[in-house]
Amino acid sequence: MADPQLRPRYSGVATFFRTPLRDDAKGVDIGVVGIPFDGGVTNRTGARHGPRAVREQTTLVRRYNQATGVGPFDLVKVADLGDAWLEQPYELAGALDEIHAFFANVHAAGTVPLSVGGDHSVTLPILRAFAREGPIGMVHIDAHCDTGDDYLGSRFHHGAPFRRAVEEGLLDPKRVIQIGIRGSLNHPDMWKFSHDSGMRVVYMEEFTDKGWRWAAEEARKVVGTGPAYLSFDVDGLDPVFAPGTGTPESGGLSMIEAQRLIRELGGLDLIGGDVVEVSPPFDPSGLTAQNAASVLFEILCVLALAIQKRKG
C-alpha cells in the first residue's frame, strides 16, 4: 500500500491521478502541474479553481487506458508537482513571468509538463519555457483560435496567447492546427491572424462533416515529426459535456470524439500538454471537471508514448 494508486480511489489526500506529490521535478518524466490563475479571462471567471476540482476528479482515474492498452504509470515516472501558484496574481504580465519561472525549472529538470489551468493565457509562459530551442508545432483543441490582438488595453489575455507565441517565435504557425472553432464573433475577421500566418483552422462544420479520424490524420499531417505541444481548452467540448467554463459555445466536440482524436495523436513527438478553462463555479455537478480529468488522462497516455519513443 506504499503506492497511493493501490489504495481505494476515494481515500487519501487528492493529488493528480493519486501520484506522489513532489516539490522537485528531478527524475520525474511527466510532471502534472496546477495553475490556479484566471487573470487573463475576458468573460466569466473561476478557472483559478480549476486545478483543485480536476485533481479531485483525477483520483477516480484507474491505471490503464482500456481503449489503447497504454499504462502511463508503467511506462514513465509521473508525479504531481503541485501548483504554480503566484505571489502577485493580480498583476497580469508579472503573473505570466512567475508561471514562466516555475516551468523553466520543470524544463531544466528534463520533465515533460502536463498542466491544468487556469485560463488559456497560461499556455504562453509554458511555451516560453519549453520552446526555447526554436518554434514548435501545436495541436490546439478549442472553440476559439485565441489568436486575437490587444483587448481593452491588454496585450495578454486568454484570447491572444497563440498570436503572442507566434510573434515571440515560440510556435511555427505552419505546424499549428486548431480544431473545434465556432461561435459568434466580435468582427468577421476575428481569427484573421490564424489564417494569415498559415495555421490550419478546422471549424466545427468541417469537423462534423469529416469526423475525428480525419481530424487526427490532418493533425498528424500539419504537425509532422518535429516537437509539438497539445493544448486542450474545455470549451472545445460541447457545453453538454463542459458547461463549467468561462466562454461556452454551443455545437462542440463530444467526449468520445475528443478521446478518440487524442488517442490518434500517440505517434507525435509531444513535449507537453495542458487542459485549461475549467471553471468550477459554473460546474455545479462537477461534470466539466470529470471530463477534463478524462481528457487529461488521454493526454497523459500520448505524452507517455512520446517519451517512450524518444528514449528508444
Neighbours of 6 (CB within 10 A): 9
b/e map 262-289, b = 16+ CB within 10 Å: bbbbbebbbbbbbbbbbbbebbeeebbb
Q: Is 144 in the site for Mn ion (CB under 5 A)?
A: yes
Q: Given the rule CB under 5 A, which of 38-46, 145-153, 212-220, 252-260 is the region that contacts Mn ion?
A: 145-153
Separation of alpha carbons 130 and 306, rounded Å? 15
Q: Is 143 in the site for Mn ion (CB under 5 A)?
A: yes
Among 38, 80, 146, 238, the residue binding Mn ion under the rule CB under 5 A is 146
By C-beta, is 46 or 266 nearer to Mn ion? 46
Neighbours of 184 (CB within 10 A): 6
By C-beta, is 235 or 283 nearer to Mn ion? 235
By C-beta, is 18 or 120 nearer to Mn ion? 120
By C-beta, is 33 or 79 nearer to Mn ion? 33
Site string for Mn ion, 203-242 (x = CB under 5 A): ------------------------------x-x-------
CB of 64 to Mn ion, least distance (A): 30
Q: Given the rule CB under 5 A, which of 76-84, 114-122, 181-189, 299-307 is the region that contacts Mn ion?
A: 114-122
Q: Is 120 in the site for Mn ion (CB under 5 A)?
A: yes
- Report the C-alpha dihedral over residues 62, 65, 67, 70, rounded to 10 degrees: -160
Separation of alpha carbons 312 and 307, rounded Å? 9
Number of residues this chain uses to bind Mn ion (CB under 5 A): 7
Q: Is 283 in the site for Mn ion (CB under 5 A)?
A: no
DSSP annotation of 110 reads: T
DSSP annotation of 299 reads: H
By C-beta, is 61 or 275 nearer to Mn ion? 275
The CA-atom distances, in angstroms, between 151 and each of 130, 156, 245 are: 26, 8, 20
Residues near Mn ion, by CB under 5 A: 120, 142-144, 146, 233, 235
